[in-house]
Structure formats: C-alpha cells, structure tokens
Amino acid sequence: MSSHTVRPIPPATLEELRAADDAGRVPTPVTDDEGGAPLRCCLRHSRPGERIALVSYAPLRRWAAATGADPGPYDEQGPVFVHAERCAGPDGDGLPFTNSHRTLRRYSADGHILGGRLAEDPGAFEPGLKEALDDPAVAFVHVRAVEYGCFLYEVTRG
C-alpha cells in the first residue's frame, strides 16, 4: 500500500475538548468498568478501570479553521471517546480499529466529500484506503464506524 499517516485527535485539541467539547459542553469523565471503548486519543480500546470521557468533536470544522477551507454543509460533529486525562498517544503507526465494518470517507482539499467506501470486513480496509489515497483529488480520508457513524481517525499520504 502507498505510504500513509494515521492521525489521531491532536494533543492540543484533546486538551480543549476535555475542557469544553465542540458542542460547548463540559465533559463528564467516567470510569469505564468494562473497557472496549474506541479511544481517539491513543487509537486503542479502553481497558477496564480507565477514566474516559465522551465528547463532541468536529474534525472537519477544526481542519477548515486551520487551513482556511470552507467545508460548507459537510461540516459535522459527533461523539468520540477519549481518555479523561492526557495519555501517551498512539503506540505504533498501524491501522487501528479495522476489525469491523468501516466507512472510508474521502475529502478534497477544500473539505468537500468526494465519496466513500464501505469496508465490510478487515480484508477490504487496506485496498479501500489504497484506492482513496491513490486518487490525486483526495486530500485526506476519515475513517468512521458504520454502527454509529463516529469519526475514528484521519489518514493522509506520507
């Protein structure tokens, strides 16, 4: 597969989200008794006993604010799990959360959706991602959970 970079939610953004999320709410940390929540800060599942928070996150809006792009109606926000306190971030550069149905949503450099691909099983994920990143019109890909539509992480070339 072509070279790619997996991008979790950046640490500075996480600090902001832990104080007030993108919906303007102050998160309520909880102890995850069961574990298994997909954490967008370190790109792994939570472990039983970890403190986590469910926050509202608008990845495209934040990207657009940093780049000057105008995603227009493609801007959206949704729930994501993060550690309640700062964590070490991802351990490795592999493709996380590929063991279930995923949507690979393609975006142009101006933040408009260029289409997407449903990866119905783990074997379909990498070919779908390669196809997206091989398209020169695609600036980045958002990987999302099918079950809830939640943002998992961003993938770029390089």
- pLDDT at residue 52, as a whole number: 98
- pLDDT at residue 74, as a whole number: 86
Please give the helix or strand (H or E) that residue 80 lies within, else none: strand 78-83
- pLDDT at residue 63, as a whole number: 92
Q: How far apart are CA 145 and CA 118, in angstroms?
A: 10
Of 54, 83, 112, the residue that ends a domain is 83
Partners of residue 45 on adjacent β-strands? 38
Q: Which domain does 45 fall in, by range?
A: 8-83
Of 36, 56, 83, the residue that ends a domain is 83
Give the residue from 1, 27, 120 showing the smallest Cα distance to 80: 27
Q: Are 84 and 29 in contact (CB under 8 A)?
A: yes
**49 with 110, same domain?**
no
- pLDDT at residue 2, as a whole number: 55
- pLDDT at residue 92, as a whole number: 82
Per-residue pLDDT of the chain (158 residues; tens, 9 = 90+): 558 999 999 999 999 999 999 999 999 999 999 999 999 999 999 999 999 999 999 999 999 999 999 988 888 999 999 999 999 999 887 899 998 899 999 999 999 999 999 999 889 999 999 999 999 999 999 999 998 889 999 999 98
Number of domains in the chain: 2
- The H-assigned helical ranges of 3-155 are 11-19, 59-67, 122-134
**68 with 27, same domain?**
yes
**78 with 136, same domain?**
no
